[in-house]
């Protein structure tokens, strides 16, 4: 363990230190978008009045629990869709869907789960990433709609 951080003091990293550095940077770059995504979901649920919320906004952070987080995404997508539907109905706001964000959200959740399947996994991961970004944008737009309707 002592040798692991010697490159900081000595200056020349070995192969282990380089791999460790790439791993740490990779984990950081992977978690950072997830954090911003979960902040968007939490803020969106916070815009929904408490009587229309199907889950507390802070529950989105349960996604960080290993393995449980994969299944929890299905719950989040479902609860956010029904919360948004109730909120839009109570505010008399017209929306483009009966279940806001549900279809693309379930698609990304299924594709991320399918990413562990050999051979199919890479294609499912790429498609899941695209659907995840589309879901994130859609939920962010719903949040903006709720924010704008409060101002008027």
Determine the pLDDT at residue 107: 97
Mean pLDDT of the chain: 89
Determine the pLDDT at residue 18: 80
Give the residue from 4, 35, 32, 30 showing the smallest Cα distance to 17: 4
Q: Give the model confidence (pLDDT) of 79-124 as tens digits.
A: 999 999 999 999 998 888 889 999 999 999 999 999 999 889 999 9
Token readout for 49 is: 């009045």
Determine the pLDDT at residue 11: 64
Determine the pLDDT at residue 8: 54
């Amino acid at each position: 363990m002592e040798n692991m951080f010697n490159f900081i003091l000595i200056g020349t990293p070995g192969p282990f230190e380089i791999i460790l550095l790439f791993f740490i940077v990779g984990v950081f770059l992977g978690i950072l978008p997830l954090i911003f995504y979960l902040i968007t979901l939490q803020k969106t649920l916070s815009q929904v009045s408490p009587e229309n919320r199907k889950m507390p906004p802070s529950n989105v952070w349960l996604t960080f629990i290993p393995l449980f987080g994969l299944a929890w995404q299905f719950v989040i997508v479902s609860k956010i869709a029904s919360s948004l539907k109730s909120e839009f109905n109570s505010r008399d706001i017209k929306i483009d869907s009966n279940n806001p964000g549900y279809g693309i959200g379930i698609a990304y959740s299924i594709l991320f789960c399918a990413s562990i399947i050999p051979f199919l996994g890479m294609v499912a991961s790429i498609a899941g990433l695209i659907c995840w970004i589309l879901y994130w944008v859609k939920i962010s737009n719903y949040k903006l709609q709720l924010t704008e309707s409060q101002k008027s």
